Amino acid sequence: MRNKIVTIIISLVFVGIGMSSAWAAKSSVKLGAAIWDYSPDGTIGTTGTNADIKSSLNIEDDTDSFFWIAIEHRIPVLPNIKLVRTNLELDGSGTVGATFNFNGQTFNVNSDITSTVELNQTDVILYYKLVDSNVSFDLGINTKIFDGKASASSVAANANETVDFTGPVPMLYGNLSVKLPASGLSLGLEASGLAAEGHSISDIIFRVAYTTKSNIGFELGYRRLDIKLDDLDSINADISVDGPFFAVRFVF
């Protein structure tokens, strides 16, 4: 997985260098890709007792990716747009630490299982740039669209249960960035959040970025994603995923 992500990011570097001269006059497109090392925690289920993703599903720490593109313009009435794609696949295998029920199937303690929890998501962000100088502040709305899956299987129990879940969740969005004078460095805090209709989601990113004179940037940051879903396509989840990331970005 890590090698594949590195290959994608290297490809984006060469694409960005090739496109930078064509788009430099507009300075309206931002493109980035990140490698995210994360640690998951929490529970997921359908009915009855939810499964603990650590002790029951044996989900382990892993590495995945997220990518984004933002298009900004000079038309005051229309919002800018940013699309973020997060690939998040949590895999596990091992011995069940506690009996749990998933999608009507009971998985007993000490049985061997393999499991997957996919929390893939696309963020469609519409925002306005309220401040744009050494301090930049964006405000808008974010529709986070889940296309996920949860599965558990046990050869001994002859059980293989899979539940797909999809759906949009609207959230508030804000992005604050502060440039440090004459250094190329900037500090940023980006957040989306919602607490309504049984769902509670927050997606928070803190970043330290360095941008070269050719508008190629590098980021070190930390991302925390908290997801609480109440009957989204029959899925109930209370999961947190957090960890550091490294990103490459371009401004055209």
32 three-class SS: strand
Alpha-carbon torsion, ordered 149, 152, 153, 156, to 10 deg: -170
Is the predicted pLDDT of residue 10 greater than 60, yes or no? no
Poorest-pLDDT segment among 18-32, 38-52, 149-163, 238-252: 18-32
Question: What pLDDT sits at residue 128?
Answer: 94
Residue range 13-35: mean pLDDT, rounded = 59
Question: What pLDDT sits at residue 7?
Answer: 52
Q: pTM (2 decimals)?
A: 0.83
Question: What pLDDT sits at residue 213?
Answer: 87
Residue range 19-48: mean pLDDT, rounded = 74
Residue range 150-169: mean pLDDT, rounded = 81
pLDDT band, residue 244 (cuts 50/70/90): very high
CATH code, domain with 120:
2.40.128
Question: What pLDDT sits at residue 111?
Answer: 79
**DSSP tag of 47:** S
Distance CA 108, CA 100 (A): 7
Domain around 226: 2-251
Higher local confidence (pLDDT), 159 or 213: 213
200 three-class SS: strand
Q: What are phi and psi of 21, to 5 degrees?
A: -70, -35
Is the predicted pLDDT of residue 95 greater than 90, yes or no? no
pLDDT in tens, 56-70: 888 889 999 999 999
Q: Side-chain half-sphere of 107: how many Cα atoms within 13 Å?
A: 31
User: Rounded to whole angstroms, what are the CA distances from 88 to 16, 25, 93, 127, 150?
Assistant: 25, 35, 17, 25, 12
What average pLDDT is seen over the chain? 84
Q: Quick one: what percent of the chain has pLDDT higher than 70?
A: 87
Distance CA 75, CA 173 (A): 20
Question: What pLDDT sits at residue 108?
Answer: 77
Long-range contacts of 196-200 (CB under 8 A, 24+ apart): 197/230, 198/229, 198/230, 198/231, 199/169, 199/228, 199/229, 199/230, 199/232, 200/226, 200/228
CA angle 229, 34, 217 (to 5 degrees): 135
| Inter-residue contact 123 to 88 (CB < 8 Å) | no
pLDDT in tens, 102-138: 777 777 777 788 888 899 999 999 999 999 889 999 9
Residue range 154-170: mean pLDDT, rounded = 80
Highest mean pLDDT out of 30-39, 193-202, 231-240:
30-39
Highest mean pLDDT out of 5-19, 92-106, 229-243:
229-243
User: Rounded to whole angstroms, what are the CA distances from 95 to 41, 43, 55, 155?
Assistant: 17, 17, 9, 12
pLDDT band, residue 49 (cuts 50/70/90): low
Into how many domains does the chain fold?
Answer: 1
End-to-end Cα distance, the chain:
29
pLDDT band, residue 192 (cuts 50/70/90): very high
Q: Which of 73, 167, 89, 168 is nearest to 124 (CA)?
A: 168
Q: Which of 48, 139, 49, 153 is nearest to 91 (CA)?
A: 153
Is the predicted pLDDT of residue 248 greater than 90, yes or no? yes
Is the predicted pLDDT of residue 54 greater than 80, yes or no? yes
Residue range 130-149: mean pLDDT, rounded = 92
